[in-house]
Amino acid sequence: MATTPEKSKSLESWIWDAACSIRGAKDAAKYKDYILPLIFTKRLCDVFDDELNRIAKEVGSRKKAFQLAKADHKLVRFYLPLMPDDPEQPVWSVIRKLSDKIGEGVTTQMRAIARENPLLQGIIDRVDFNATTHGQRDLDDDRLSNLIEAISTKRLGLVDVEADIIGKSYEYLIRKFAEGSGQSAGEFYTPPEVGTIMSRVLAPEPGMTVYDPTCGSGGLLVKLETAMEEKAGAKKPAPLKLFGQEYVPETWAMANMNMIIHDMEGQIEIGDTFKNPKFRDKGGKLRSFDRVIANPMWNQDWFIEADYDADELDRFPAGAGFPGKSSADWGWTQHILASLNDKGRAAVVWDTGAASRGSGNAGTNKEKTVRQWFVDHDLIESVLYLPENLFYNTTAPGIVLFLNKAKSKERQGKVFLVNASQVFEKGDPKNFIPDEGIQRIADTLIGWQEEEKLSRIVDHAELKKNDYNISPSRYIHTSDAETYRPIAEIVEELKVIEADARDTDKALKEILQKLGL
């Protein structure tokens, strides 16, 4: 079945209308932990129906097909223990016809599905649709019934919608939730145009291993697979091997659902990647990958020097190491570098201050020292400066840092800088990069194409002269009138500088107290 923009848009409209059926668009994001598993389960039910119909054609009836699938779960991808009174009825009707204690019934059915499918355990059975807070149901039966009815209006089976379309629509729903989630959105969502640029530049090849250490809802891993398939064209390439780790349990579940609904197979682990990365080889050492893509939370300030010193995985080499407590950006960058194989490449999104903090200041700065180490070891291939107000958790512009452990000879000793701050269109609530802008930026980065007011090749000597400031805005002025950096960027940088100053004052006071002064 051919995919069309109209079908995709229609499904997106339906999926958002279903989400809004609970309490309107304003509150929809609050209920994402209920909505996403239900839509996911509707897809599972409809696909299971299609598989039963296929078996029924061979054995003569749906009743026999149910019996065969129950006896041998390998006949279907996911076996659903939902048996309608009339085997000719859709499997989803078991959930749709719940009329009494609906929250309890949905929870029971979800847990039954998870018991039969180890791959779904912890993913769809973690939500209690009957949960209460201070004696009040979080989602009462009336609203849950409205949601189920709204979801029931469209079929999501194999013969109705391709994995690609429902995957895109599912991501659309995640994006709409991000719009309503404010600061927390950055924990699980990266703007799609940023992910597309990163993926096209990284250009993964069929069968490669790819990894996201802070995978959120899994969107960046999906983007890598999509970029590889688009490049292959009509050929059916070997799928990428997708690996991710996520700290927040609800978001980990979201990532797993996103993988399955896109019909992609990935291994998503749960836990704190910085302190306990789950992907290791048989000897316990950090596993390495062909490509790493990531958008960690910016400027994390809860890791201390002891966390770096205690590392037993050789992630923080001498000369680099601890970048200071106020921002773990370059600590994460070291983890990402350590996760690359000898020919590996990576793309990571950072606050713009990660490219410039400490440069031009008197004395030493830990963050600048780590940045210098990366430049001196010729690991930075490119830096992309993004437009402001793209991200859901900040108005600051952000950068994408591209690493390459095997730079070509002609690119050695140089870094390619792209200032794309003007390549955007105004949007509500966020700005966005249009398709032609995505293509322009990606082509520029891939080809190292110099263009006035957009891109420059800068050698290491010039970076050194500028005290290892690698921000494209320092070297490329996008217009004669633009002599000031964006206010949002300056504010973000000042926050970190102020936090540094507070830590320094605290440490100084402690020393003086010990000295009795």
N-term to C-term CA, the chain = 78
- Residues facing 286 on adjacent strands: 280
Task: Specify the 3-state DSSP secondary structure of 285.
Answer: coil
Answer for the pair 397, 490: CB distance below 8 angstroms, yes or no: no
DSSP string for residues in 220-289: HHHHHHHHHHHHHTTS-PPPPEEEEEESSHHHHHHHHHHHHHTT--EEEEES-TTT----B-TTSSBP-E
Q: Which helix (H) or strand (E) holds 366?
A: helix 366-376
Q: What is the pLDDT of residue 163?
A: 85
What CATH number is given for 181-492 in this structure? 3.40.50.150
Q: What is the pLDDT of residue 167?
A: 87
- Using only the alpha carbons of the chain, give its radius of gyration: 25
CATH of 5-175, one of 3.40.50.300, 3.40.1520.20, 1.20.1260.30, 3.40.50.10470: 1.20.1260.30
The count of residues in the chain is: 517
Helix axes 366-376, 329-338, angle to 10 degrees: 30
DSSP state of 348: E
Show Cβ contacts of residue 342 under 8 Å, excluding neighbours closer than 6 positions: 405, 406
Within a 10 A sphere around the Cβ of 326, how many other Cβ atoms?
23
- Residues facing 132 on adjacent strands: 137
- Residues facing 451 on adjacent strands: 455
CA separation for the pair 241, 245 (Å, rounded): 14
Q: What is the pLDDT of residue 317?
A: 93
Q: What is the pLDDT of residue 2?
A: 42
- Please report, for the chain, the start and end positions of each structural domain, with discontinuous segments joined by +: 5-175, 181-492
CA separation for the pair 109, 80 (Å, rounded): 9
Q: What is the pLDDT of residue 423?
A: 96
User: Mind listing the pLDDT tens digit of every residue in the chain (517 residues)?
Assistant: 444 555 666 888 898 888 888 877 667 788 888 999 999 999 999 999 999 999 999 999 999 999 999 999 999 999 999 999 999 999 999 999 999 999 999 999 999 999 999 999 999 999 999 999 999 999 999 999 999 999 999 999 998 888 888 888 888 888 888 887 765 666 678 899 999 999 999 999 999 999 999 999 999 999 999 999 999 988 889 999 999 999 999 889 999 999 999 989 899 999 999 999 999 999 999 999 999 999 999 999 999 999 999 999 999 998 899 999 999 999 999 999 999 999 999 999 999 999 999 887 766 789 999 999 999 999 999 999 999 999 988 888 999 999 999 999 999 999 999 999 999 999 988 999 999 999 999 999 999 999 999 999 999 999 999 999 999 999 998 875 444 556 655 665 666 666 666 766 776 777 777 777 6
Residue 351: CA count within 13 A, CB half-sphere:
28
Separation of CA 414 from chain center: 29
